[in-house]
Each structure stands twice: as C-alpha cells, then as structure tokens.
Amino acid sequence: MQRSLLLAKIHNCTLTDANINYMGSISIDKTLLDAAGILPYEQVQVVNIANGERFITYAITAPANSGAIELNGAAARLGVKGDRLIIMTYAQFTEEELKNYYPTVVMVDQNNGILEVRRYVNELFKDSVIV
C-alpha cells in the first residue's frame, strides 16, 4: 500500500505577478524551488490565502533570488499581485519509505526571501528542526 503525504511546501509566499497571456503554470524563484526540493515541471497544488482558491498546476523556474512567484495562463485569474499563497507538492510513499520521511517547509518573508527551511522529523510531525 502507498500513502500520499506532503513532500514540500513554500509557505505564505507573495504573488508578484499574474500573466494571463503566458501558456500556463506558476513561475517560482529558483532559490525557493531548490530549497523546497521542487523540480521544474513538477505538479504543485496552490492555495490562495486571500480568496480561498485551490488549484493544481506545474512549477517552472523563475530567476534565482528574484523573489518571483507568478501565476501564468488560466491560473492568472485565480490571484492578484500581493495575494499570499501556499505552494505544496505531494508524493506517494510505501510503509517502508515512511520510516525516513521528512517533509520540507520553506518559510519566506514578504519579499519571498527565505526566512528558514524546516524539515519535520518522523513520528509524523512530532517535532521540527530548522536546517
């Protein structure tokens, strides 16, 4: 049996732009992608804290240290510049893999700079550590 659990999250980031004319996806600062372990073209779930919208798209790389978080294509209608977002990925794990399971949470400031990176320790989120 496999279970689907949170793999990584960029928490409380700020939407910097919305471009309806782009083909689709969400552009994310490469520094944030790397810190969270999210790959280019990986499926992500986006939650807009401002309006409650939840949707699935895929990540594309924005320039490193740019602070860019941009909704593209149809998703651009689901947020406006300045909205706060949570961006999450999930993975499927076997019971054996769960023994070494540690989700990564990237906490950011209002300019999408990294404040800290947390890895939750096992016993399903009993404690967290900052790395």
Please classify residue 80 by burial: count the beta carbons closer than 10 Å to its beta carbon, then call 0-12 exposed, 13-18 middle and 19+ buried: middle
Is position 64 annotated in a ligand binding site? no
Q: Is 74 annotated as a binding residue?
A: yes
Residue 73 annotated as lining a ligand binding site? yes
Closest to 38 (Cα-Cα) out of 109, 114, 105, 127: 105
75 is in an annotated binding site: yes
Active-site positions? 25, 58
DSSP per residue, 23-44:
-SEEEEEHHHHHHHTPPTT-EE
Binding residues for substrate: 57, 73-75
Binding residues: 57, 73-75
